[in-house]
Structure 1
Protein backbone atom coordinates (compact mmCIF):
# COMPACT_ATOMS: atom_id res chain seq x y z
CA UNK A 1 0.00 0.00 0.00
CA UNK A 2 1.48 3.38 -0.93
CA UNK A 3 1.46 6.56 1.14
CA UNK A 4 -1.72 7.80 -0.53
CA UNK A 5 -3.81 5.19 1.27
CA UNK A 6 -1.72 4.30 4.32
CA UNK A 7 -3.82 6.57 6.61
CA UNK A 8 -7.11 4.90 5.75
CA UNK A 9 -8.90 2.70 8.25
CA UNK A 10 -10.82 -0.37 7.08
CA UNK A 11 -14.16 0.70 5.65
CA UNK A 12 -13.17 4.36 5.53
CA UNK A 13 -13.88 5.98 2.19
CA UNK A 14 -13.75 9.52 0.86
CA UNK A 15 -15.61 11.24 -1.95
CA UNK A 16 -14.12 10.37 -5.37
CA UNK A 17 -12.57 7.08 -4.23
CA UNK A 18 -13.10 4.35 -6.80
CA UNK A 19 -14.32 1.03 -5.40
CA UNK A 20 -14.09 -2.33 -7.08
CA UNK A 21 -17.19 -4.30 -6.09
CA UNK A 22 -17.78 -8.04 -5.98
CA UNK A 23 -21.35 -7.62 -7.20
CA UNK A 24 -23.93 -5.01 -8.07
CA UNK A 25 -26.11 -3.90 -5.14
CA UNK A 26 -29.68 -5.18 -5.24
CA UNK A 27 -32.04 -2.36 -6.31
CA UNK A 28 -35.54 -2.06 -7.70
CA UNK A 29 -34.82 0.59 -10.33
CA UNK A 30 -31.57 -0.61 -11.91
CA UNK A 31 -31.18 0.95 -15.40
CA UNK A 32 -30.80 -1.53 -18.28
CA UNK A 33 -27.33 -0.27 -19.24
CA UNK A 34 -25.81 -0.98 -15.82
CA UNK A 35 -25.41 -4.75 -16.14
CA UNK A 36 -23.23 -4.43 -19.23
CA UNK A 37 -21.27 -1.48 -17.83
CA UNK A 38 -20.55 -3.36 -14.59
CA UNK A 39 -19.50 -6.47 -16.52
CA UNK A 40 -16.92 -4.37 -18.38
CA UNK A 41 -15.67 -2.51 -15.29
CA UNK A 42 -17.01 -3.53 -11.84
CA UNK A 43 -16.24 -0.16 -10.26
CA UNK A 44 -18.23 2.61 -8.62
CA UNK A 45 -17.23 6.02 -7.25
CA UNK A 46 -17.91 7.17 -3.70
CA UNK A 47 -20.45 10.01 -3.74
CA UNK A 48 -21.54 12.55 -1.14
CA UNK A 49 -24.68 11.14 0.45
CA UNK A 50 -25.79 9.71 3.78
CA UNK A 51 -25.62 5.92 3.63
CA UNK A 52 -27.30 3.41 5.95
CA UNK A 53 -25.07 1.60 8.42
CA UNK A 54 -23.02 -1.07 6.66
CA UNK A 55 -23.37 0.59 3.25
CA UNK A 56 -21.47 3.17 1.20
CA UNK A 57 -23.03 5.70 -1.17
CA UNK A 58 -21.72 5.07 -4.69
CA UNK A 59 -22.32 6.15 -8.26
CA UNK A 60 -22.04 4.08 -11.43
CA UNK A 61 -21.25 5.35 -14.92
CA UNK A 62 -22.11 3.95 -18.33
CA UNK A 63 -20.86 4.60 -21.84
CA UNK A 64 -22.19 8.15 -22.16
CA UNK A 65 -22.77 11.18 -19.93
CA UNK A 66 -26.48 10.45 -19.52
CA UNK A 67 -25.77 7.05 -18.00
CA UNK A 68 -25.26 7.76 -14.31
CA UNK A 69 -26.84 5.87 -11.42
CA UNK A 70 -26.60 6.32 -7.65
CA UNK A 71 -27.01 3.47 -5.18
CA UNK A 72 -25.86 2.13 -1.80
CA UNK A 73 -23.40 -0.76 -1.92
CA UNK A 74 -22.85 -3.10 1.05
CA UNK A 75 -19.45 -2.39 2.58
CA UNK A 76 -18.71 -6.11 2.52
CA UNK A 77 -18.91 -6.09 -1.30
CA UNK A 78 -15.92 -3.73 -1.59
CA UNK A 79 -12.80 -5.65 -2.58
CA UNK A 80 -10.48 -2.81 -3.63
CA UNK A 81 -10.22 0.93 -2.92
CA UNK A 82 -8.44 3.24 -5.36
CA UNK A 83 -8.17 6.84 -4.13
CA UNK A 84 -7.50 9.43 -6.87
CA UNK A 85 -4.04 10.06 -5.38
CA UNK A 86 -3.10 6.47 -6.14
CA UNK A 87 -4.03 6.90 -9.80
CA UNK A 88 -1.67 9.81 -10.38
CA UNK A 89 1.30 7.52 -11.03
CA UNK A 90 -0.49 5.21 -13.43
CA UNK A 91 0.85 5.43 -16.98
CA UNK A 92 -1.38 6.63 -19.79
CA UNK A 93 -1.65 4.19 -22.68
CA UNK A 94 0.56 5.42 -25.57
CA UNK A 95 -2.37 5.26 -27.98
CA UNK A 96 -4.46 7.49 -25.66
CA UNK A 97 -2.00 10.23 -24.72
CA UNK A 98 -3.06 12.28 -27.75
CA UNK A 99 -6.41 12.95 -26.07
CA UNK A 100 -6.38 16.44 -24.59
CA UNK A 101 -7.50 15.43 -21.10
CA UNK A 102 -4.71 12.86 -20.83
CA UNK A 103 -2.10 15.24 -22.24
CA UNK A 104 -3.10 17.88 -19.68
CA UNK A 105 -3.06 15.25 -16.92
CA UNK A 106 0.53 14.28 -17.73
CA UNK A 107 1.50 17.97 -17.77
CA UNK A 108 0.07 18.39 -14.26
CA UNK A 109 1.92 15.30 -13.03
CA UNK A 110 5.18 16.77 -14.33
CA UNK A 111 4.52 20.26 -12.92
CA UNK A 112 6.42 20.88 -9.67
CA UNK A 113 3.76 23.30 -8.41
CA UNK A 114 1.40 20.38 -7.84
CA UNK A 115 3.89 18.24 -5.93
CA UNK A 116 3.11 20.14 -2.73
CA UNK A 117 -0.35 18.56 -2.37
CA UNK A 118 -1.87 15.09 -2.45
CA UNK A 119 -3.99 15.13 -5.59
CA UNK A 120 -5.27 12.83 -8.29
CA UNK A 121 -7.60 12.52 -11.28
CA UNK A 122 -11.33 11.95 -10.97
CA UNK A 123 -14.06 11.88 -13.62
CA UNK A 124 -13.43 10.09 -16.90
CA UNK A 125 -9.62 10.27 -16.63
CA UNK A 126 -9.57 8.71 -13.18
CA UNK A 127 -12.11 6.07 -14.18
CA UNK A 128 -10.14 5.01 -17.25
CA UNK A 129 -6.85 4.86 -15.36
CA UNK A 130 -8.46 2.70 -12.68
CA UNK A 131 -10.47 0.36 -14.88
CA UNK A 132 -8.74 0.44 -18.32
CA UNK A 133 -12.20 0.98 -19.82
CA UNK A 134 -12.05 3.69 -22.47
CA UNK A 135 -14.15 6.54 -21.08
CA UNK A 136 -12.08 9.60 -22.07
CA UNK A 137 -13.07 11.31 -25.33
CA UNK A 138 -11.70 14.20 -27.34
CA UNK A 139 -14.13 16.55 -25.58
CA UNK A 140 -13.56 15.30 -22.02
CA UNK A 141 -12.58 17.75 -19.28
CA UNK A 142 -9.82 16.95 -16.83
CA UNK A 143 -11.23 16.68 -13.29
CA UNK A 144 -8.88 16.53 -10.32
CA UNK A 145 -9.25 16.57 -6.55
CA UNK A 146 -6.70 17.98 -4.12
CA UNK A 147 -6.75 16.70 -0.55
CA UNK A 148 -6.37 19.75 1.71
CA UNK A 149 -7.08 18.75 5.34
CA UNK A 150 -5.25 21.89 6.49
CA UNK A 151 -5.79 25.43 5.27
CA UNK A 152 -4.51 26.26 1.80
CA UNK A 153 -3.28 29.85 1.62
CA UNK A 154 -5.07 31.97 -0.97
CA UNK A 155 -1.71 32.86 -2.52
CA UNK A 156 -0.86 29.19 -2.94
CA UNK A 157 -4.29 28.50 -4.41
CA UNK A 158 -3.86 31.36 -6.89
CA UNK A 159 -0.46 30.03 -8.00
CA UNK A 160 -1.96 26.58 -8.57
CA UNK A 161 -4.90 28.02 -10.49
CA UNK A 162 -2.58 30.08 -12.70
CA UNK A 163 -0.49 27.00 -13.52
CA UNK A 164 -3.64 25.05 -14.32
CA UNK A 165 -4.82 27.90 -16.56
CA UNK A 166 -1.55 27.72 -18.55
CA UNK A 167 -2.03 24.00 -19.09
CA UNK A 168 -5.66 24.57 -20.09
CA UNK A 169 -4.50 27.02 -22.73
CA UNK A 170 -1.66 24.81 -23.96
CA UNK A 171 -3.91 21.80 -24.49
CA UNK A 172 -7.24 23.53 -25.13
CA UNK A 173 -8.97 21.61 -22.36
CA UNK A 174 -10.92 22.60 -19.25
CA UNK A 175 -9.44 21.62 -15.88
CA UNK A 176 -11.92 21.36 -13.02
CA UNK A 177 -9.85 21.33 -9.83
CA UNK A 178 -11.59 20.75 -6.51
CA UNK A 179 -10.21 21.15 -3.00
CA UNK A 180 -11.34 18.50 -0.53
CA UNK A 181 -11.64 20.42 2.76
CA UNK A 182 -13.18 19.68 6.19
CA UNK A 183 -16.29 21.57 5.01
CA UNK A 184 -16.54 19.55 1.77
CA UNK A 185 -15.53 20.05 -1.84
CA UNK A 186 -14.60 23.60 -2.85
CA UNK A 187 -13.64 24.76 -6.34
CA UNK A 188 -9.99 25.81 -6.50
CA UNK A 189 -10.98 28.70 -8.77
CA UNK A 190 -13.41 30.09 -6.16
CA UNK A 191 -10.93 29.93 -3.28
CA UNK A 192 -8.14 31.36 -5.44
CA UNK A 193 -10.37 34.27 -6.54
CA UNK A 194 -10.47 35.62 -2.99
CA UNK A 195 -14.26 35.52 -2.68
CA UNK A 196 -15.52 36.35 0.84
CA UNK A 197 -17.63 33.16 0.84
CA UNK A 198 -17.27 30.02 -1.25
CA UNK A 199 -19.56 27.09 -2.02
CA UNK A 200 -18.71 23.87 -0.18
CA UNK A 201 -20.37 20.59 -1.11
CA UNK A 202 -20.67 18.02 1.67
CA UNK A 203 -22.83 15.07 2.68
CA UNK A 204 -25.15 17.56 4.36
CA UNK A 205 -25.66 19.47 1.12
CA UNK A 206 -24.17 22.61 -0.45
CA UNK A 207 -23.34 25.52 1.84
CA UNK A 208 -21.63 28.91 1.74
CA UNK A 209 -18.64 29.41 4.02
CA UNK A 210 -15.98 32.04 4.58
CA UNK A 211 -13.38 29.46 5.61
CA UNK A 212 -13.74 25.76 4.62
CA UNK A 213 -11.19 24.81 7.30
CA UNK A 214 -13.06 26.45 10.17
CA UNK A 215 -16.67 26.05 11.33
CA UNK A 216 -17.96 29.58 10.82
CA UNK A 217 -21.66 28.88 10.89
CA UNK A 218 -22.05 27.89 7.24
CA UNK A 219 -25.28 28.79 5.49
CA UNK A 220 -26.88 25.81 3.76
CA UNK A 221 -28.31 26.32 0.30
CA UNK A 222 -30.67 23.34 0.44
CA UNK A 223 -30.59 20.08 -1.54
CA UNK A 224 -27.92 17.43 -1.61
Structure 2
Protein backbone atom coordinates (compact mmCIF):
# COMPACT_ATOMS: atom_id res chain seq x y z
CA UNK A 1 0.00 0.00 0.00
CA UNK A 2 1.30 3.42 -0.91
CA UNK A 3 -0.58 5.11 1.98
CA UNK A 4 -2.35 3.70 5.02
CA UNK A 5 -4.95 5.25 7.29
CA UNK A 6 -4.60 5.26 11.05
CA UNK A 7 -6.73 2.47 12.58
CA UNK A 8 -10.12 3.52 13.99
CA UNK A 9 -9.44 1.48 17.13
CA UNK A 10 -6.92 1.68 19.96
CA UNK A 11 -3.38 0.70 19.04
CA UNK A 12 -3.32 -1.83 21.86
CA UNK A 13 -6.75 -3.28 21.03
CA UNK A 14 -6.63 -7.08 20.62
CA UNK A 15 -6.35 -8.09 16.97
CA UNK A 16 -8.38 -10.99 15.62
CA UNK A 17 -7.99 -13.22 12.59
CA UNK A 18 -11.59 -13.32 11.31
CA UNK A 19 -11.96 -16.44 9.18
CA UNK A 20 -14.84 -14.88 7.24
CA UNK A 21 -12.43 -12.63 5.34
CA UNK A 22 -9.35 -13.97 3.58
CA UNK A 23 -6.56 -12.11 1.84
CA UNK A 24 -7.52 -11.16 -1.74
CA UNK A 25 -11.25 -11.46 -1.05
CA UNK A 26 -13.15 -8.58 -2.64
CA UNK A 27 -15.76 -6.83 -0.49
CA UNK A 28 -18.57 -4.68 -1.80
CA UNK A 29 -18.91 -1.57 0.36
CA UNK A 30 -22.27 -0.14 1.43
CA UNK A 31 -23.05 3.23 -0.23
CA UNK A 32 -22.99 5.11 3.06
CA UNK A 33 -19.42 3.98 3.78
CA UNK A 34 -17.71 5.84 0.93
CA UNK A 35 -15.35 7.49 3.40
CA UNK A 36 -13.36 4.69 5.05
CA UNK A 37 -10.92 6.79 7.06
CA UNK A 38 -12.73 8.32 10.06
CA UNK A 39 -9.86 10.73 10.63
CA UNK A 40 -10.27 12.07 7.09
CA UNK A 41 -6.68 11.22 6.16
CA UNK A 42 -7.48 9.44 2.88
CA UNK A 43 -6.16 10.85 -0.41
CA UNK A 44 -8.54 12.91 -2.53
CA UNK A 45 -8.97 10.15 -5.12
CA UNK A 46 -10.36 7.56 -2.69
CA UNK A 47 -13.96 8.80 -2.60
CA UNK A 48 -14.12 9.01 -6.40
CA UNK A 49 -12.66 5.51 -6.72
CA UNK A 50 -15.27 4.05 -4.38
CA UNK A 51 -18.07 5.94 -6.14
CA UNK A 52 -16.89 4.42 -9.43
CA UNK A 53 -16.48 0.90 -8.04
CA UNK A 54 -17.55 0.36 -4.40
CA UNK A 55 -15.21 -2.59 -3.89
CA UNK A 56 -12.15 -3.10 -1.69
CA UNK A 57 -9.68 -5.96 -1.31
CA UNK A 58 -8.85 -7.65 1.99
CA UNK A 59 -5.28 -6.99 3.14
CA UNK A 60 -3.03 -9.38 5.09
CA UNK A 61 -3.31 -7.42 8.31
CA UNK A 62 -5.22 -8.32 11.46
CA UNK A 63 -7.76 -5.79 12.71
CA UNK A 64 -9.68 -5.34 15.95
CA UNK A 65 -13.04 -7.10 16.30
CA UNK A 66 -15.65 -5.51 14.06
CA UNK A 67 -13.16 -4.29 11.45
CA UNK A 68 -11.28 -5.72 8.49
CA UNK A 69 -8.11 -4.34 6.89
CA UNK A 70 -8.77 -3.46 3.25
CA UNK A 71 -7.17 -1.73 0.30
CA UNK A 72 -8.73 0.73 -2.14
CA UNK A 73 -7.65 0.78 -5.79
CA UNK A 74 -7.47 4.02 -7.74
CA UNK A 75 -7.42 4.52 -11.49
CA UNK A 76 -3.62 4.27 -11.77
CA UNK A 77 -1.07 1.89 -10.26
CA UNK A 78 0.29 4.48 -7.84
CA UNK A 79 -3.13 4.98 -6.26
CA UNK A 80 -3.39 2.37 -3.52
CA UNK A 81 -4.76 3.15 -0.07
CA UNK A 82 -4.80 0.86 2.95
CA UNK A 83 -7.59 1.46 5.42
CA UNK A 84 -10.12 -0.27 7.69
CA UNK A 85 -13.71 -1.24 6.98
CA UNK A 86 -16.41 -1.74 9.59
CA UNK A 87 -17.78 -5.23 9.00
CA UNK A 88 -21.32 -3.82 9.20
CA UNK A 89 -20.59 -1.90 5.99
CA UNK A 90 -19.89 -5.05 3.95
CA UNK A 91 -22.70 -5.76 1.49
CA UNK A 92 -21.18 -8.89 -0.05
CA UNK A 93 -17.90 -10.71 -0.53
CA UNK A 94 -16.30 -12.47 -3.50
CA UNK A 95 -13.34 -14.84 -3.27
CA UNK A 96 -10.83 -15.39 -6.10
CA UNK A 97 -12.15 -18.91 -6.68
CA UNK A 98 -15.61 -17.44 -7.37
CA UNK A 99 -14.28 -15.63 -10.44
CA UNK A 100 -12.87 -18.10 -13.03
CA UNK A 101 -16.39 -18.69 -14.34
CA UNK A 102 -17.11 -14.97 -14.76
CA UNK A 103 -16.68 -13.73 -18.32
CA UNK A 104 -15.13 -10.33 -19.01
CA UNK A 105 -17.04 -7.88 -21.16
CA UNK A 106 -16.81 -8.88 -24.86
CA UNK A 107 -14.78 -5.79 -25.73
CA UNK A 108 -12.21 -6.70 -23.06
CA UNK A 109 -11.64 -10.37 -23.88
CA UNK A 110 -8.71 -9.67 -26.22
CA UNK A 111 -6.55 -8.25 -23.41
CA UNK A 112 -3.55 -10.56 -22.88
CA UNK A 113 -4.34 -11.22 -19.21
CA UNK A 114 -7.90 -12.26 -20.07
CA UNK A 115 -6.60 -14.46 -22.90
CA UNK A 116 -4.35 -16.19 -20.39
CA UNK A 117 -7.22 -16.53 -17.93
CA UNK A 118 -9.41 -18.12 -20.61
CA UNK A 119 -6.66 -20.68 -21.29
CA UNK A 120 -6.50 -21.57 -17.60
CA UNK A 121 -10.23 -22.29 -17.58
CA UNK A 122 -10.03 -25.05 -20.18
CA UNK A 123 -10.03 -28.79 -19.52
CA UNK A 124 -6.34 -28.87 -20.44
CA UNK A 125 -5.44 -26.30 -17.78
CA UNK A 126 -2.59 -27.14 -15.38
CA UNK A 127 -4.87 -25.83 -12.63
CA UNK A 128 -7.51 -28.52 -13.09
CA UNK A 129 -6.66 -30.22 -9.79
CA UNK A 130 -6.47 -27.01 -7.75
CA UNK A 131 -8.82 -24.48 -6.19
CA UNK A 132 -7.73 -21.17 -7.68
CA UNK A 133 -8.86 -17.81 -9.01
CA UNK A 134 -7.70 -14.46 -10.39
CA UNK A 135 -6.66 -11.63 -8.10
CA UNK A 136 -5.18 -8.19 -8.82
CA UNK A 137 -6.58 -6.14 -11.70
CA UNK A 138 -8.23 -9.12 -13.42
CA UNK A 139 -10.04 -10.25 -10.30
CA UNK A 140 -11.14 -6.72 -9.48
CA UNK A 141 -12.53 -6.13 -12.96
CA UNK A 142 -14.45 -9.40 -12.99
CA UNK A 143 -15.97 -8.77 -9.56
CA UNK A 144 -16.71 -5.07 -9.94
CA UNK A 145 -17.56 -5.04 -13.64
CA UNK A 146 -15.43 -1.94 -14.10
CA UNK A 147 -12.54 -1.81 -16.64
CA UNK A 148 -9.33 -2.15 -14.64
CA UNK A 149 -6.90 -4.27 -16.69
CA UNK A 150 -4.62 -2.71 -19.27
CA UNK A 151 -2.84 -4.27 -22.24
CA UNK A 152 0.35 -4.45 -20.16
CA UNK A 153 -1.23 -5.95 -17.03
CA UNK A 154 0.01 -9.28 -15.71
CA UNK A 155 -2.45 -11.96 -14.70
CA UNK A 156 -2.30 -12.48 -10.94
CA UNK A 157 -3.74 -15.72 -9.60
CA UNK A 158 -4.12 -17.33 -6.18
CA UNK A 159 -3.87 -21.12 -5.84
CA UNK A 160 -5.03 -22.69 -2.58
CA UNK A 161 -2.66 -25.48 -1.58
CA UNK A 162 -3.52 -26.51 1.99
CA UNK A 163 -1.64 -29.80 1.64
CA UNK A 164 1.94 -30.36 0.61
CA UNK A 165 2.70 -30.91 -3.07
CA UNK A 166 5.88 -32.39 -4.45
CA UNK A 167 8.78 -30.50 -5.97
CA UNK A 168 7.97 -32.14 -9.27
CA UNK A 169 4.40 -30.80 -9.08
CA UNK A 170 5.68 -27.31 -8.25
CA UNK A 171 8.11 -27.38 -11.19
CA UNK A 172 5.44 -28.68 -13.57
CA UNK A 173 2.95 -26.05 -12.46
CA UNK A 174 5.47 -23.22 -12.85
CA UNK A 175 6.50 -24.43 -16.30
CA UNK A 176 2.92 -24.88 -17.51
CA UNK A 177 1.87 -21.42 -16.31
CA UNK A 178 4.92 -19.86 -17.96
CA UNK A 179 3.99 -21.51 -21.25
CA UNK A 180 0.37 -20.34 -20.98
CA UNK A 181 1.57 -16.81 -20.26
CA UNK A 182 3.95 -16.85 -23.21
CA UNK A 183 1.21 -17.94 -25.60
CA UNK A 184 -1.03 -15.12 -24.36
CA UNK A 185 1.73 -12.53 -24.54
CA UNK A 186 1.67 -11.69 -20.86
CA UNK A 187 3.02 -12.84 -17.49
CA UNK A 188 1.25 -14.98 -14.88
CA UNK A 189 2.17 -14.16 -11.30
CA UNK A 190 1.00 -17.08 -9.17
CA UNK A 191 0.82 -17.15 -5.39
CA UNK A 192 0.23 -20.35 -3.44
CA UNK A 193 -1.89 -20.05 -0.32
CA UNK A 194 -0.26 -22.44 2.16
CA UNK A 195 -0.72 -23.03 5.92
CA UNK A 196 2.12 -20.54 6.52
CA UNK A 197 0.59 -17.88 4.26
CA UNK A 198 0.94 -16.73 0.68
CA UNK A 199 4.11 -17.86 -1.09
CA UNK A 200 5.17 -16.94 -4.62
CA UNK A 201 5.24 -19.95 -6.92
CA UNK A 202 8.39 -18.56 -8.52
CA UNK A 203 10.23 -18.72 -5.19
CA UNK A 204 9.21 -22.31 -4.59
CA UNK A 205 10.14 -23.29 -8.15
CA UNK A 206 13.59 -21.76 -7.60
CA UNK A 207 14.10 -24.26 -4.74
CA UNK A 208 15.35 -21.65 -2.34
CA UNK A 209 16.19 -22.96 1.15
CA UNK A 210 13.68 -20.49 2.60
CA UNK A 211 10.79 -18.63 1.03
CA UNK A 212 8.82 -15.57 2.07
CA UNK A 213 5.41 -16.47 3.51
CA UNK A 214 2.95 -13.61 3.95
CA UNK A 215 0.33 -14.16 6.64
CA UNK A 216 -2.07 -11.95 8.60
CA UNK A 217 0.42 -11.99 11.47
CA UNK A 218 3.18 -10.67 9.21
CA UNK A 219 5.72 -11.87 6.66
CA UNK A 220 8.52 -14.26 7.52
CA UNK A 221 11.02 -16.52 5.83
CA UNK A 222 10.15 -20.19 6.25
CA UNK A 223 11.89 -23.38 5.21
CA UNK A 224 8.64 -25.32 4.83
CA UNK A 225 5.35 -23.43 4.25
CA UNK A 226 3.37 -26.62 4.91
CA UNK A 227 4.88 -27.39 8.29
CA UNK A 228 2.39 -26.89 11.12
CA UNK A 229 3.67 -24.08 13.41
TM over 0.5: yes
Residues 90-120 of structure 1 deviation map (CA, whole Å, 9 limit, x = unaligned): 0122211111111111111114320111000
Residues 1-224 of structure 1: matches in 2 within 5 Å? 12-22=20-30, 23-24=33-34, 25-28=36-39, 29-110=41-122, 111-215=124-228
Number of equivalent positions:
207
CA offsets 1:59-87 (integer angstroms, 9 cap, x no match): 00010001100111011111111000001
Query: Once superposed, which parts of structure 1, at least 4 consecutive aligned residues long, lie more than 6 Å away?
Result: none
Q: Aligned partners of 2:165, 2:29: CA distance in 1, in Å? A: 34
Q: What are the superposed Cα offsets for residues 151-182 of structure 1, whole Å, 9 maximum, x if unpaired?
A: 12221111111111101211221110000111
RMSD across aligned positions (CA): 1.4
5+ residue gaps, structure 2 = 1-17
Q: Which shows bigger deviation, 178-187 or 203-212?
A: 203-212
Offset of 1:11 from its aligned partner? 6.5
Deviation at 1:195, TM superposition (A): 2.1
How far does the alpha carbon of each residue in 1:39-71 deviate from its partner, in whole angstroms, 9 at most, with x for none? 111100000112111100000001000110011
* Aligned residues of 2:37 and 2:83 also touching (Cα < 8 A): no
**Whole-angstrom distance in 2 between the partners of 1:62 and 1:56:** 19
- Higher RCO (C-alpha 8 Å, min separation 6): 2
TM value normalised by structure 1 = 0.88
Gap regions ≥5 residues in structure 1: 1-9, 217-224
Q: Shift in Å at residue 26 of structure 1? A: 3.7
Contact persistence 1:155–1:192 (CA under 8 A): no
Give the TM-score of the pair, scaled to structure 2.
Answer: 0.86
Deviates most, 122-131 or 169-178: 169-178
1:201 alignment partner, SS class: strand
